[in-house]
Amino acid sequence: MKDVEGKVAFITGAANGIGLGMAKTFLAAGMKVVIADIRQDHLDRAMGQLHNRSAHAIQLDVTDRGAMARAADEAEKVFGKVHVVCNNAGINLFASIDNCTYDDWDWVLGVNLGGVVNGVQTFLPRIRAHGEGGHIVNTASMAAFVGSSGAGIYTTAKFAVRGLTESLRPCVARYNIGVSMLNPGLVNSNIHHSDEIRPENLTAKKGEVDADFMARLEEIQKLGMDPEEVGVKVLQGIRNNDLYIFSHPEFKEETRETFENILAAMPDGEADPKRLAFEEFRRARKAAEQA
C-alpha cells in the first residue's frame, strides 16, 4: 500500500509508546486514525497531543472479542472502511518463567497473542469485503528472535506472533492485503507500568521479579528509541510491504548468531528424495501464494 493518504488506520495500544508514535506518523501522512487503548485517561491525554480531527479514540480491552467487534463498527461509522490494522497492544511481566503462575500466563498471552488474534479475526474479513486492499501490522519484538529468561511468557507470546504473521502473509496476498511484523528493541514507552492494568480476575501470585531491575527500569526505558522514529519505520514497511520491520540495528549480530546456531544444528547428510520432493512442492506453493 504505497498510497496511504486518506486511508483509515486502526491501532491498538495507541495511547502511548509505539502505538502513539504510529498514530502521529500516520496522521502526518494524511491518514485517518483510530487510537484504541484500555485506559481512558491515557486516551484523553493522547488526543490532546494529536490535535487532529482525523483522529478518533476508543477505549478497548483487546482480549474482549465483543468489544473488538464493537470498536470496528465504531471505526467504520466514524471514518468509513478500515485499511490498515496495527495489532500493537502489549504488556510485559518481568519475571522468570519458572516462577510464573497460570494467571501470569493467561494475562500475558491474552493480551500479547490473543489481542493480535482478535484484531486479525475481527478486521481481516472486513478488509477483504471492501476489496480495496489493506495492510496488517502485528507488533512482536526482537524477543521473537532472541529469547529472554527474564520475560519468558512475553517471549513465548512474541514467538507465536511471529508464527501467526508469517503464516498469514501468504494467505491474504491474493486479496492485495499486506502483512508485516514489527520487531522493536528498547523503546521509550510505558510498558514497565503493565501491572497497573492487570485484570482483577488474574491476580494469583505473580512470578518473582528482580526488584533491583524493576527499580531501574523506568530510567532504562527513557534511553529507548523515540516512538515516532519507530512509527516512521512502520509506515515505510507498510509502503514497501515488508514482512519484517526491524527498527533497532543493535540486534544484528545477536540475530545472526541465533540463526547460525540453528543452521549449525541441522543434521548432515542428503535428504530422502521422497521427502525432498514434498518440501520442494511446499516451497513452490508458498512462492506462488506470495507472487
Q: Which residues are catalytic?
A: 154
Partners of residue 181 on adjacent β-strands:
138, 244
Would strands 244-246 and 32-37 be described as parallel, antiparallel, or unpaired?
unpaired
Measured N-to-C along each axis, helices 152-172 and 114-130 cross at an angle, to the nearest 10 degrees, of 20
Would strands 177-183 and 244-246 be described as parallel, antiparallel, or unpaired?
parallel
Q: Which amino acid is at 62?
A: V
Spatial CB neighbours of 284, under 8 Å, sequence gap ≥ 6: none
CB-based contact 85:134 (threshold 8 Å): yes
DSSP 149-184: GGGHHHHHHHHHHHHHHHHHHHHHGGGTEEEEEEE-
Backbone angles phi and psi of 256, in degrees to 5: -60, -45
Nearest to 91 by CA among 202, 226, 168: 202
The grid cell for 248 is 533497532
User: Residue 157, Cα to own-chain centre: how many angstroms?
Assistant: 10
d(CA 278, CA 11): 40
d(CA 172, CA 119): 15
